[in-house]
Structure 1
């Protein structure tokens, strides 16, 4: 999905004002939190992993770290991050700009339980200079997660 498509999707859902232009790079969680003036826990990071030759996206809060044992319990395989080139090819977004909305390929999206309880979430919006400000319900409505998982520590 291009940035224009993403903006159109937000407009359709009456959320156009939630698309944020950042004055500096927000490629990393710490950079995004600093530029947005929010707690790093509110940054919703999207990890793209390979599960049995199928890329998936897991969205976690910044305060969460992927736990190998929990991931293996959930998916019966060790987590393996995709390479930056594979992330771009599979999602349409570069690393640092991946969000679970409008992925290039219709990849399964999972929400980690670390997202629960946060008033606002700030996922990337296509590149390191754009972000979204959404509630958990709004992010869920736009990204259609398969289910909740507990894969973080």
Structure 2
């Protein structure tokens, strides 16, 4: 391996180790390479890994299971602030995202349900509509603005 590559890896590893005790409340943005999914990627201890997962492991210990994920409380894929990360499951991650109003999935709605949602505009809060139909507030807004037709079941 070239000296330049070794030096680059050392810089990344040093940055991670220097920031594992980061105490700020703001997002700590990953300053290096990103994968196609928007998350930081790193060569750490000879392995290619998700930067959030590496930071979570260093800050909070090994994951309880191999299926555990590094969950972000800030919803920022680029953030590796150890205070924003915790171990959790895929279902916990989905539930957290729904509770924060982040678009996680689009359930199949019927054409009638799309019509009902549009007709409720101004009469019922988007929060209440989202709760009734099991969708996010952002999705309600898109439907009501006619920018989202979605896949219909009927």
Shared fold, TM over 0.5: no
Greater radius of gyration (CA):
2
Please classify the TM superposition score into its range, dividing by the shorter chain length.
under 0.3
- Greater share of residues in helix: 2
Q: Which structure is richer in relative contact order (CA contacts within 8 A, separation 6 or more)?
A: 1
TM-score norm. by structure 2 comes to: 0.21
TM-score norm. by structure 1 comes to: 0.21
